[in-house]
Amino acid sequence: MLQHKKLALLSLSLFSLIALAAKAEPIDNRHIIVAPQCLVKNLSVSMNYKTLASSSTLALLETNRLGIDYLIEAKNHRTATPCGGFVDVTDAWDNYHSRDLSSQRKAKSFLQEEMTKESSVKIKAKTYGIQYPDQVNQLIKQINPSTIWSDLTAFSDTHKSKFPDRYANSATGVNAANWLKEKIEALAKANNRTDITTYAISTGPQYKQPSIVVKIGDSNEPGVVIGGHMDTLSSSWELKPGADDDGSGSMAVMEIARTLISSNMRFKKPIYIMWYAAEEEGLVGSSKVVAEFKNKNIPIDAVLQFDMTGYADKNDPTIWLITDNINKDLTAYLETLIKTYIKQPVGYTRCGYSCSDHASWNKAGFPAAIPFEAAFGKDNPYIHTANDTINILSINHMANFAKLGIAFAVELAEPVV
């Protein structure tokens, strides 16, 4: 524990040196950010940003690359009340055109619309039930915890992996995306699956790493999305293996994909497997993915997000369900799935403003839900550090999340029987 604290202090000191060196840096490489006031309050006074508009709960900020780093650092402050994260809304801001508004009024109008999207998304309630227990149980039995472990080792162990980090603006971040894509393509080929489509969605121009999308099935019916984010922070000052955040979620998603592709089961609805880029930078990758799905009118019935599935506080097997930026009906259905198929305790916890990629889908009007490894405040304390390693994670906890994803996919995509 003492060594962990020393590493954290070293990381903070290095971060402070960067800040002092760049204190007078002008705002270039511009980013427009929406952040909760509780996060803004934690920002260093030396951060280079400008407040464009503000409310009692949110702020609209203009900043640069260094400002993003400060926001990420502020997000790591552990408080009794979860604050959440921030969203990079640069694209939406640049495309925002309101008639005859001054810059100040435009900013206020834009922020108000963002607040409305977050607080009043109305999605028609749907009745969810248990319809395919035989098919779900058949595939759950095929979940292999050792495969999850070996994949996570290859994805995040800095001694055995190709990736010292998976930072979204690095070559290793791009390599990680390619590794995921190639692994799926090899699975499809090995199982003679001609109904698997794999493609990348650009996160540019600011980030090199693309998001990866896999479509299972040929149907054009409203589909089911299961995803996690692949990226980590940069390892410029220390290694960022990201075993839990979000290697654990990413490899739970990989195990779900492996199980579905390896089975002979076919579905009425398509299943979309996704790994998002640049989540750490303000949900950038998922925002791009959601925008593409909306622009192409690709219908989606339900979205499941896996962000940190491996850390079991005091070996607690509880699966926690996040209560904000989600669809309540879909979240209640997750509890039903857990009690029916996983048979583990269920808890509820709040994560704060836009804390993971489910928020991008929710804001766009798609039903989304997110299970989590622990109650907020008792989750992995080592994320975003060199100590976010595989050795402190629970193989059984990760396997239970993969089983939940299988139950979600099979029940909602409806197997052809």
- For residues 346 and 284, is the Cβ–Cβ distance under 8 A? no
Cα(408)–Cα(402) distance, integer angstroms: 10
Cα(271)–Cα(258) distance, integer angstroms: 13
Q: What is the 3-state secondary structure (H, E, C) of 341-385?
A: HHCCCEEEECCCECCCCHHHHHHCCCCEECEECCCCCCCCCCCCC
The active-site residue, picked from 358, 384, 388, 397, is 384
Of 132, 183, 189, 133, the closest CA to residue 162 belongs to 183
Please indicate whether residue 25 is annotated as part of the active site: no
- For residues 248 and 393, is the Cβ–Cβ distance under 8 A? yes
Question: Hey, what are 47's tokens?
Answer: 């951060």
Please indicate whether residue 292 is annotated as part of the active site: no
- For residues 82 and 36, is the Cβ–Cβ distance under 8 A? no
The active-site residue, picked from 307, 316, 324, 411, is 307
Please indicate whether residue 307 is annotated as part of the active site: yes
Please indicate whether residue 280 is annotated as part of the active site: yes
Please indicate whether residue 245 is annotated as part of the active site: yes
The active-site residue, picked from 62, 165, 245, 411, is 245
Instruction: List, in sequence order, every residue forming a beta bridge with 223; answer none if it has no partner.
Output: 300
The active-site residue, picked from 31, 229, 358, 397, is 229
Degrees to nearest 5, angle at CA 184 with 183 and 190: 90
The active-site residue, picked from 88, 231, 238, 279, is 279
Residue type at 162 in one-letter notation: K
The active-site residue, picked from 280, 324, 357, 388, is 280
- For residues 67 and 40, is the Cβ–Cβ distance under 8 A? no
Please indicate whether residue 73 is annotated as part of the active site: no
How many CB atoms are closer than 10 A to CB 177?
24
Active site residues: 229, 245, 279-280, 307, 384
